[in-house]
Amino acid sequence: MTNTPPSYAVLFRTHFWDEFAERQFERVSSQVRSGDVYVLVPIYMFYAAHPEYDYYLQLEYDVNVHADLDAFMMRVAQDSVDVVASTEAKFDPDWPWLPTCSDAYEAHEIKHQLICLSVFSNKALQTLSQARLEQAARFRAGLLKTWPFCEAFIPTESVRSGLKIEELSAYGDTSAYDSWPPYLEEKLPKLQRHTFVHPVLDREKYVPSLLKWKPGFAILALPLSWLHRKLWRLGPAGYVRAITGHAFRDA
């Protein structure tokens, strides 16, 4: 068993660049000692251009990891794991992306993973890249009418191909890691006990994210509801601005 990390690339995934994204990028970069950090182009394009790494760690701009990434990647390599992601949340039969999979897979074989932080071995990306190319050929030929969403494509194809999959929780605490609700960036010091945190947002993005699912009148009206408790984390001035509508304009 080696005590050195594998060669690995860290792919920082973002669709915008502002001061918050830069702070998140700097946080990630500070946790990497032997890996190479990139701002992500599509992962399969990146793999085609850089097939030399043993592993590829992809994480979105709103993920925070409170752990040494070299040590994390070394453990993944020691376990000979091909794919690390989170599948522990209960599968929602009303998941809005489910219809994208209907042409490609039988209903019983569709899997779902939260991949805002995910790790892939070289073997896994080679396998998944080939599967995507085959789907692209079928799509162009009119045999696929929908393009399977990545959070279903990756785990479903991984199981089909016999890749070794491990839960993210095998490598640290995931109790603050889900698709929603968000955590406020300035509260990160109080979240250090959680290895993986998602989603983390700055003040500008925090309130619109809280309102993403359009809470009903009862939640908006009750001062002790989860929404108001979350808004109190903005402090008194931020809370007042939020409830008087100034922070809701773009929600």
Q: What is the mean pLDDT of residues 59-86?
A: 97
For 51-55, 60-64, 92-96, 242-246, which range has the lowest pLDDT when averaged over its residues?
242-246
- pLDDT score of 190 more than 50: yes
Q: What is the pLDDT of residue 243?
A: 54
| Alpha carbons 93 and 245: distance in angstroms, whole number | 34
Q: pLDDT tier at 73 (50, 70, 90 boundaries)?
A: very high
The residue that leads in pLDDT, 211 or 226, is 211
Q: What is the DSSP letter of 193?
A: T
pLDDT for the residue 2: 65
Per-residue pLDDT at 248: 46
Q: Which one-letter amino acid corresponds to residue 119? A: V
Q: Looking at this protein, which amino acid is placed at residue 96?
A: P
AA letter at 144: L
Give me the chain's average pLDDT, please: 87
Instruction: Enter the pTM of the model.
Output: 0.85
What percentage of the chain exceeds 90 in pLDDT? Answer: 72
Closest CA to 93 of 113, 83, 107: 107
Q: What is the pLDDT of residue 218?
A: 43
The CATH number given to 8-171 is: 3.90.550
Residue 105 is predicted with a pLDDT of 96
Where exactly does CATH 3.90.550 map onto the chain? 8-171
Mean pLDDT of 86-112: 86
Vertex 15, ends 32 and 142: CA angle to 5°?
115
The mean per-residue pLDDT over the stretch 170-187 comes to 93
Indicate the range of 115-119, 158-162, 179-183 predicted with least confidence.
179-183
Q: Which residues contact 32 (CB under 8 A, 6 or more apart)?
A: 10, 69, 70
For 131, the token pair is 């599967």
d(CA 39, CA 18): 13
* pLDDT at residue number 232: 57
Beta strands across the sheet bearing 114-121: 36-39, 8-13, 55-60, 114-121, 83-86, 165-167
